Amino acid sequence: MPTVRQQIISLLREQELNPMEISQALHIMEKEVYGHLEHIERSLDRQNLRLAVSPFACLSCGYIFTKRTRRDRPGRCPVCRQGHIRMAGYRIVPA
């Protein structure tokens, strides 16, 4: 039986997914996914792979969270203060 991280890697090699989609596919909490993504990113370096990230974006004003280093979901947009945020997407690609 593969570990949770191995299952996440397998999913992300096939398609881009956001943490909510990963949590639903593996029946784990969304908060757990963020921790696993950090470890996966470090382990991919040794395999000549990288974790490609399409950043969070505000659906109200279009602001893109390009400088955000934290993996968890932001609460509000720093520009318009709205909470309607598109989740970041993750995919595993060659380095």
- pLDDT per residue rounded down to tens, the chain (95 residues): 899 999 999 999 999 999 999 999 999 999 999 999 999 999 998 889 999 999 999 999 999 999 988 888 899 999 999 999 999 999 999 98
Query: Between the CA of residue 66 and those of 5, 48, 88, 90, 93, what are the distances in Å?
Result: 25, 24, 11, 14, 19
Enter the pTM of the model. Answer: 0.86
- Domains contained in the chain, CATH given: 4-94 (1.10.10)
